[in-house]
Structure 1
Amino acid sequence: MADQAPKRAGRLALAAALATALAVPAEGLRQVAYRDPPGVLTACYGHTGKDVQAGVVYSLEQCSKWLTNDMGAAISAVDRCAPGLPEPVLAAFGDAVFNMGPTIACDTKNSTAARYLQQYSATTYRDAKADALILTAACNQLPRWDNARIAGVLVRLPGLTKRRAAERDVCLKGLP
């Protein structure tokens, strides 16, 4: 098992780098805290949380630190829910989790994508054709998640539509 730890760490690092390449242009850098369309206080590259304060100007160093930590947490969450995904699939869903939380990849009651990802992970043997079908189905769920709740109403946001399409493209490149 110890032999697998470096390999897993490498997979997670590669997926985090790919996901970060998706997140940075989608989020943009805003060093002054602002409210995103749903009204969540946000700073830097999409960082949210109690540590974000209105009107504060954050350093590039702080923004980079948050991005690294937040993306690492998102990638780890996907890997816990659906271990063994190919790196591009892990990256695509990692960026989605970074952007909107773990439901898309982990909540099998509310996400068809999560059901497909867990079906792939639960398979004890690898069959390239079957794996490709399952992962294609999972990747094709990403564009469905382009809405945000604004004032209690789900609204399709063009930025999310574009981001989910980019994630889907990366995801499909990870098929066996």
Structure 2
Amino acid sequence: MTTMPPGAAIPREIHPDALALVRHFEGLYLKAYLCPAGVPTIGYGHTAGVRMGQIITSLQAEVYLRADMADAASDVDRLVTVPLTDRQRGALASFVFNLGGGALRDSTLQRLLNQRDYAGAAAEFPKWVYATVNGVKKQLDGLKKRRAAEAKLFETA
């Protein structure tokens, strides 16, 4: 039996809808591939320590996903100073998983949210739909759909 140190908090779970959202938009790849940015990637968008030629199981992909989302949620917890529902936190964790903590840290979304303007923050998701492809900034349909899904999850009571 494991015991928690005195004063330790139980880690807050990632909302299942947020995990499902990331699974849907990342897709499952059991063999490493190069993402559009040229980074070796496997599972549901996992990049840390991935080598080309690497193969994993679907269980390992799920372990990576949960760890990566826990890391993203940790960034959310550090950057957001107002109360969040589990779905709001999950939507923001998906955003950070996809874009990185720096994107949230430097965003109007985070500034509005920390001013308790939840509706204004939700309206910021659709602005994050651009990626640089071959040196050109382009609006991507996949990002439009992902941001719309994150905003919807964020706004769900």
Q: Same fold (TM over 0.5)?
A: yes
More helix by share: 1
1:75-133, Cα deviation, whole Å (9 max, x unpaired) = 111011104222221111110101111133222xxx1101112223xxxxxxxxxxxxx
How do 1:95-174 and structure 2 match up within 5 A? 95-107=94-106, 111-120=107-116, 134-174=117-157
Is 1:37 paired with 2:41?
no
Q: Report % sequence identity.
A: 36
Provide the residue aligned with 2:46 in structure 1. 47
- Contact 2:91/2:153, CA 8 A, preserved across alignment: yes
Counterpart amino acid of 2:152? D
Provide the residue aligned with 1:72 in structure 2. 70
Is 1:5 paired with 2:9?
yes
- Contact 2:15/2:87, CA 8 A, preserved across alignment: no
Structure 1 unaligned spans of 5+: 121-133
User: Where in structure 1 do 4 or more consecutive aligned residues deviate above 3 Å?
Assistant: 2-6
1:31-82, Cα deviation, whole Å (9 max, x unpaired) = 1111222322211100112x11112211223211111100001111101110
Per-residue deviation at 1:5? 3.4
Alignment partners' CA distance in 1, 2:76 and 2:138: 25
Alignment partners' CA distance in 1, 2:152 and 2:50: 32
If the length of structure 1 is used for normalisation, what is the TM-score?
Answer: 0.78
Counterpart amino acid of 1:22? L
Alignment partners' CA distance in 2, 1:154 and 1:16: 32
Counterpart amino acid of 1:5? A
CA RMSD of aligned residues (A): 1.9
Alignment partners' CA distance in 1, 2:76 and 2:28: 24
Alignment partners' CA distance in 1, 2:124 and 2:8: 30
Give the aligned length: 151
If the length of structure 2 is used for normalisation, what is the TM-score?
Answer: 0.86
- Contact 1:105/1:117, CA 8 A, preserved across alignment: no
How do 1:78-89 and structure 2 match up within 5 A? 78-83=76-81, 84-89=83-88
SS at 2:37 equivalent? coil
